[in-house]
Amino acid sequence: MKKFFVLILISALFFTACQGGYAAPPSDTSPAPDPDPAPPAVQANGSGPDMISDLIKDEYDGIEITVNVLERMAIIPGAPFQATVLVENKGDKTVSYIQGSGSYNTPQALFLYSEALQTVRPQDHLGLATADFVTQELKPGESLLFKLPAMAIAPNTDFDGYTFELFDEGIYIPDMDWSALQERFPGLVALAPGDYALQAYFLYNVSDGGGEFDMFGGPTGYAVAETIIGVS
């Protein structure tokens, strides 16, 4: 793990465009303001999130990623659900990836994306966050396993703002009853029954065993997996 405490290093990375920046407090243990809301789900370029436009798909073929939703889980219009994402390093090289703030559990480098349904910012990415900048390594034989939230509603450009607004009131948006959520934010629209594509992305830098992350260039490659979400 490597920590860098100068805010300009954070702003030099691609994630400032999609995850927002932080105002640097005096030390990495002091809280920083909430990042500006900008969910990847509403920053589409027609084939995926904007941040991958200069990256190489499967640059390192040792990274395998899968995304699944429990088959027995009934997803009704407007309902929240979780997608289980598994990233495995089955090759012989070490990769580095952005964790983000040291207070995050879910890496910034791992996220859901969909042009058809609404992804949700992980709960540990809300509220106050330390201003340190953390990168992690995924070595050969290691894996990452996370459950990431989404909802069976149409993507909405104001959704991240709603998420922060409710969180300030002590409510995590997927936990709110759909009827109450729609009454609070009438612009939210439940998906009609049908099948919808959901992708999981993992962005990385191949360190060739040296463990060094290219701070200024950011990630160089990505892996992506897709699953179909059935709304009934």
d(CA 197, CA 59): 23
Say which DSSP state 46 is in.
S
For the chain, how far is it from start to end, CA to CA, in angstroms? 43
Q: Please, which residues have CB within 8 angstroms of residue 55's CB and are 6 or more apart in sequence?
A: 203, 219, 220, 221, 222
In this prediction the pTM is: 0.78
SS3 153: strand
- Angle of CA points 42, 45, 47, to nearest 5°: 105
Domains of the chain (ranges plus CATH)?
A: 2-231 (2.60.40.10)
Q: Where are the beta strands (DSSP E) in 33-106?
A: 56-57, 63-68, 80-89, 95-100
Determine the pLDDT at residue 174: 97
Q: Mean pLDDT for each consecutive 10-residue tract of the chain (232 residues)?
A: 37 38 37 40 50 93 95 85 97 94 92 96 90 92 97 97 96 96 97 97 80 64 96 94
Write phi, then psi, for 11 (nearest 5 degrees): -70, -20
Determine the pLDDT at residue 27: 39
